[in-house]
Structure formats: structure tokens, C-alpha cells
Amino acid sequence: MPGWVIWVIAAVVLAVGELFTPGLFFLGPVALAAVTAAVAAAIGVGTLVQLVVFIVAALASLALLRPIARAHLHMPALVRTGTAALVGAKATVVQRVDANGGRVRIGGEEWTARPYVDDLVFEAGA
């Protein structure tokens, strides 16, 4: 069996392995290095040169491609919507807020409000 076929088989096995390890992006760059070694084998270079090409290509692809892929695979933080998005936002008291309620303005909208602790009172303008 020619050397390039062995490298292609290794590349396919590594690529399939990458599919079963989502989020790591480790086997993909190594599969790319195996393809590079297959090209070197197809050209007719010796086994030692093929191994050097594979190692250099693997290190280079891991160093260059993995950080880029990891940045794009990162899931964004959960976006809060509705009233959950207002938790912790700064508000201006429009109508006195006490245990019985009151009104505040957050981002141009008025909302009813109550203090977390019943004894607290917030006067208008605060």
C-alpha cells in the first residue's frame, strides 16, 4: 500500500474523530497535517521527510487554526430579556417607592416598583 494512502486513511480517521469530539478542535488540525504528509508522500519524498512534514504541519495548524476555531466555537452568554434584563439596571424614582409600591423610570419606560426590604423608602428624583 502506498504511503500516501496510509496518510489519507489516517486523515479520514482523525477527521471522523473530530466529528465525535465537538468543541475541542484538536483532531481536525492533525488531520490537515496528515493530508499534508500524504501530499509529501505522493510527491515521493522519504518516510523521514513525511514524518517531519506531518509534525511541522500539525504544530503549525494547531498553533494557528485552533485559537481561531475556539474563538468561533465559543457560545455567547445567555441574553436576558423582559423583566429579567432590568435586574440591576439603574432607575430614577418617579413616584415615591415604599412597601405599598411606587413608580420608577428605567431606560425611558416607567415601571411599578417595590423595595426589596419593606422598611426602605425612596423619594421621587432619587
2-14, pLDDT tens digit by residue? 999 999 999 999 9
Cβ–Cβ under 8 Å, residues 123 and 96: yes
- The answer on pLDDT for 35 being more than 90 is yes
Are 4 and 42 in contact by the 8 Å Cβ rule? The answer is yes
30 within 8 A of 20, measured Cβ to Cβ? no
Write down the mean pLDDT value for the chain.
90
Task: For 97-119, write each residue's pLDDT tens digit.
Answer: 999 999 999 988 899 988 888 88
What is the pLDDT averaged over residues 25-31? 91
If one counts every other C-beta atom within 10 angstroms of the C-beta of residue 82, the result is 6
Helix-then-strand count for the chain, H and E: 3, 3
Tell me if 116 sits within 8 A of 88, measured CB to CB: no
CB 62 within 8 A of CB 29: yes
pLDDT above 90: percentage of residues in the chain: 60
**DSSP structural state of residue 85:** G
pTM above 0.85, yes or no: no
Altogether, the residues listed in the chain come to a count of: 126
